[in-house]
């Protein structure tokens, strides 16, 4: 299974090439596992460059060592040095599905079929993550006719189709029906940090409703009692809480949370005897609450409800219906307020820790944290450059130093995020106070006018 992406590069050509050829990500593990004689022989040969260790970097229509200069010469030859400098593409595979050698071979074949006839391309395989992935740096100007590469939707579709064909050739899995909906990066990072996002809140309440429902009507009624608003039919069924402005479709929360999947879960958690004897129609719509039920019209409403409640009681006692496990059900609005309170608590601890009392002190602290973080980022960049030229032992020492710097940067980033959060909250409070003052002034003026009139 391969996922493909492509995007333009407009800031620096050398930056994206150096990123693709990064020694720490493309270094051949076979070299590191070589015997002592080979390593000593390699170290003693001063004529060899660091590029020979980059087994998983290949140049198409250009040399790896001088790819940046060759691409720039092509641009100058046709007088097209501005605008988009290159295109950066990525091809990522499923974890533990193939070897680095096969991954790189697929990447090279993909680059040759896509751009090999007209463009200079660097292909590199990164091994530093759980998912092996190929990076492609494509020159934006063709060395054949000087035409610029047009990154349009049809071209991306061709790249995806070519990648899928190569995956089938190498007997790898392929995504047959890819989802077109993209998840926002902010939401993805928040869920990765374990924060209680809107989607996580919806999922937990839906799971709770599924566990405590035996029909779709009970499922929807349970969510309504928790404060949710629900609308739509199967494909477009959506829900939202009152303090959110937009509805969210069930299927947006994931495949397991589509209406059909939820219905299937509710149906499966009933016992087999209940499934066989149940004649209740399958509800594919959100039922609207009615003030007058049919049993009330026929005149036996109260007796019928008592009999139904008694039947359900015995079903719970016999274990046909799942029993309540005793969890305390918390309102989704309260959950949202708890999340906000945790955020405010962290910001309060930050203010007390640094003894910040005024807005000016907060801005000074922001500048101080930003300066400190920039310094650490520069140090880490220097260590990365040293690691590219260091030997195995020195490289391990530098890696440990780099990890320590990364931990410091992570902590400082948290403080910076808290500082900006305090600033935003303070500005929002000031705006609210101004609006309140204006409303009070208007009320006072109205009262004065009324008194004068009287």
Give the range among 13-22, 49-58, 112-121, 398-407 with minimum mean pLDDT: 49-58
Span 190-208, pLDDT tens digits: 666 666 678 888 888 898 8
Residue 48 has pLDDT above 70, yes or no: no
Q: What is the fold of 2-169?
A: BirA Bifunctional Protein; domain 2 (3.30.930)
Tokens of 447: 């009262």
The pTM of the whole model exceeds 0.75: no
Residue holding tokens 């990154």? 151
Q: Which of 186, 166, 185, 184 lies closest to 174 in space, CA to CA?
A: 166
- Inter-helix orientation angle 100-115/153-169, to 10°: 140
Q: At 331, is the pLDDT very low, low, confident or very high (cuts 50, 70, 90)? A: low
Q: Residue range 356-362: average pLDDT?
A: 87
Span 398-454, pLDDT tens digits: 888 988 998 899 889 988 888 888 888 888 888 888 888 888 888 888 888 878 776
Q: Which of 190, 7, 1 lies closest to 92 in space, CA to CA?
A: 1
Q: Residue range 311-316: average pLDDT?
A: 70
Residue 291 per-residue DSSP state:
S
Tokens of 422: 């305090």
**Amino acid 111: pLDDT:** 92
**Amino acid 55: pLDDT:** 64
Tokens of 167: 């995956």
**Amino acid 235: pLDDT:** 77
Sheet holding 238-240, edge to edge: 229-231, 238-240, 248-249
Span 53-91, pLDDT tens digits: 446 889 999 988 888 889 999 999 998 888 888 888 889
- 133-139 and 57-60 strand pairing: unpaired
Cα distance between residue 357 and residue 363, in whole Å: 11
Cα distance between residue 451 and residue 454, in whole Å: 5
Tokens of 235: 């494909």
**Amino acid 353: pLDDT:** 86
Residue 395 has pLDDT above 70, yes or no: yes
Residue 29 has pLDDT above 60, yes or no: no
Q: Which of 49, 152, 58 lies closest to 109 in space, CA to CA?
A: 58
Rounded (5°) CA angle 325-330-334: 170
Sequence ranges of the domains in the chain = 2-169, 193-318, 354-450
Give the range among 9-13, 102-106, 123-127 with minimum mean pLDDT: 9-13
Contact (Cβ atoms closer than 8 angstroms) between residue 372 and residue 412: yes
Q: Residue range 346-362: average pLDDT?
A: 87
Q: Which of 52, 59, 60 lies closest to 30 in space, CA to CA?
A: 52
Q: Which of 74, 101, 96 lies closest to 85 in space, CA to CA?
A: 74
**Amino acid 141: pLDDT:** 92
Contact (Cβ atoms closer than 8 angstroms) between residue 54 and residue 26: yes
Cα distance between residue 40 and residue 26, in whole Å: 21
Q: At 108, is the pLDDT very low, low, confident or very high (cuts 50, 70, 90)? A: very high
Task: Annotate 389-444 with DSSP letters as a single string.
Answer: H--HHHHHHHHHHHHHHHHHHHHHHHHHHHHHHHHHHHHHHHHHHHHHHHHHHHHH
**Amino acid 276: pLDDT:** 47
Residue 35 has pLDDT above 50, yes or no: no
Cα distance between residue 90 and residue 135, in whole Å: 5
3-state secondary structure of 91: strand
Q: At 34, is the pLDDT very low, low, confident or very high (cuts 50, 70, 90)? A: very low
**Amino acid 270: pLDDT:** 66
- Across the chain, what does the average pLDDT equal? 77
Residue 214 per-residue DSSP state:
S
**Amino acid 120: pLDDT:** 93
**Amino acid 18: pLDDT:** 77
């Amino acid at each position: 299974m391969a996922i493909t992406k492509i995007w333009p590069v407009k800031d620096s050509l050398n930056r994206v090439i150096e990123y693709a050829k990064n020694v720490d990500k493309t270094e051949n593990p076979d070299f590191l596992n070589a015997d002592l004689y080979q390593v000593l022989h390699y170290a003693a040969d001063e004529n060899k460059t660091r590029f020979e260790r980059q087994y998983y970097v290949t140049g198409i229509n250009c040399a790896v060592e001088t790819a940046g200069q060759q691409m720039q010469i092509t641009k100058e030859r046709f007088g097209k040095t501005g605008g988009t400098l290159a295109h950066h593409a990525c091809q990522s595979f499923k974890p533990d599905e193939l070897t680095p050698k096969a991954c790189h071979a697929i990447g090279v074949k993909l680059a040759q079929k896509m751009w090999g006839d007209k463009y200079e391309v660097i292909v590199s395989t990164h091994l530093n993550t759980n998912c092996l992935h190929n990076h492609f740096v494509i020159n934006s100007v063709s060395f054949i006719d000087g035409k610029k590469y047009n990154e349009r939707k049809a071209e991306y579709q061709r790249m995806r189709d070519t990648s899928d064909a190569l995956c089938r050739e190498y007997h790898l899995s392929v995504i047959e029906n890819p989802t077109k909906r993209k998840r926002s990066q902010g939401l993805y990072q928040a869920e990765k940090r374990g924060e209680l996002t809107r989607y996580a809140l919806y999922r937990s309440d839906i799971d709770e409703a599924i566990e405590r429902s035996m029909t779709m009507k009970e499922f929807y009624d349970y969510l309504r009692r928790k404060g949710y608003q629900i609308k739509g039919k199967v494909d477009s069924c959506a829900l939202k809480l009152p303090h959110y402005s937009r509805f969210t479709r069930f299927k947006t929360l994931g495949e397991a949370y589509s209406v059909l999947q939820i219905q299937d879960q509710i149906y499966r958690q009933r016992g087999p005897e209940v499934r066989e004897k149940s004649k209740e129609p399958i509800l594919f719509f959100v039922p609207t609450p009615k003030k007058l039920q049919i049993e009330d019209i026929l005149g036996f409403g109260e007796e019928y409800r008592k009999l139904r409640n008694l039947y359900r009681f015995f079903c719970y006692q016999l274990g046909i219906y799942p029993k309540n496990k005793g969890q305390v059900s918390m309102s989704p609005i309260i959950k949202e307020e708890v999340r906000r309170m945790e955020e405010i608590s962290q910001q309060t601890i930050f203010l007390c820790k640094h003894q910040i009392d005024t807005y000016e002190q907060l801005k000074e602290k922001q500048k101080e944290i930003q300066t400190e973080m920039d310094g650490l980022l520069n140090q880490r960049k220097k260590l990365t450059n040293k690691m590219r030229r260091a030997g195995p032992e020195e490289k391990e020492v530098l890696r440990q130093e780099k990890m320590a710097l990364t931990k410091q940067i992570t902590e400082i980033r948290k403080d910076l995020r808290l500082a900006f959060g305090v600033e935003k909250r303070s500005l929002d409070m000031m705006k609210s106070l101004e609006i309140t003052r204006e409303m009070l002034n208007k009320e006072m003026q109205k009262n004065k006018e009324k008194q004068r009139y009287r």
